[in-house]
Amino acid sequence: MHPHLFPTITLSLMIVIHCPTSLRADNEKYLTCEAPFNCGNFLNLNYPFWASDRPNYCGHPSFQLNCSSDVPQINITTMNYRVLEINNSSRTLKVARMDYLNTICPAAFVNTTIDNNLFSYITSSDTNLTLYYNATFLAISNAIGACNYWVNVPILQSEVPTNATYDAVLTAIDSGFMLEWDADNFQCDTCLEAGGLCGSDPTTGTFACHCTSGTFASGCSTVSTTSQTAAIP
């Protein structure tokens, strides 16, 4: 009697896998910059700010914070300022000159200057306080001519001293003044709307948009994929 013959069945299973190209390498900057950072008494900071323990590509080159004390410092046109307030929604910050901390007699008599490409005064809240040093006459029209030095220091309009006493002037200066920043705001808005994180190119310092699929000049591009085919006999 012939044994039963069973047909041989060969089954091949074809699996097509779509893999994002270099996903881990591309989104390393995104993963790093996604987490906010703390600086002094400020919590949950992000672009345009960065610090020594946060990669510069997570922020704007001109917005590095010194976080060595409870009150962070920022350098604007070679002048150091204490950062008193940060508002990312309105993109404003309140700063006060470091050289006038607890004194109105700094080591050097230097006018306040800002980078007009990055910052602007808020005219609705700021005003200039002019300090005259070694002045003989302050009430006459040619007071400047009678002074050895004069310095303009921005203060808040709400802090203008009614009496020009030492303590009143010191309090007004220490209270700081407001600045509005423009750290590639338009490009940053475009990046955020595309689901990316605002940052910069660490080599060129130009704006960069860090996305899950990579880093781009503005918005986020579509994730490129490659097809891999595997046959399982």
Over residues 153-163, the pLDDT tens digits come to 999 999 998 88
The distance between the two most distant Cα atoms of the chain, rounded to a whole number of Å, is 132
Domain extents in the chain: 23-39+184-233, 64-182
**pLDDT value for 163:** 86
User: Residue range 186-203: average pLDDT?
Assistant: 96
pLDDT band at 82 (very low <50, low <70, confident <90, very high): very high
215 - beta bridge partners? Answer: 210
- Model pTM above 0.95: no
**pLDDT value for 148:** 76
Considering only residues 225 and 66, tell me which one the structure prediction assigns the higher pLDDT.
66
User: Residue range 138-157: average pLDDT?
Assistant: 68
**pLDDT value for 149:** 82
Q: Which residues contact 88 (CB under 8 A, 6 or more apart)?
A: 46
**pLDDT value for 29:** 94
Q: Which residues contact 91 (CB under 8 A, 6 or more apart)?
A: 180, 181, 182, 183, 185
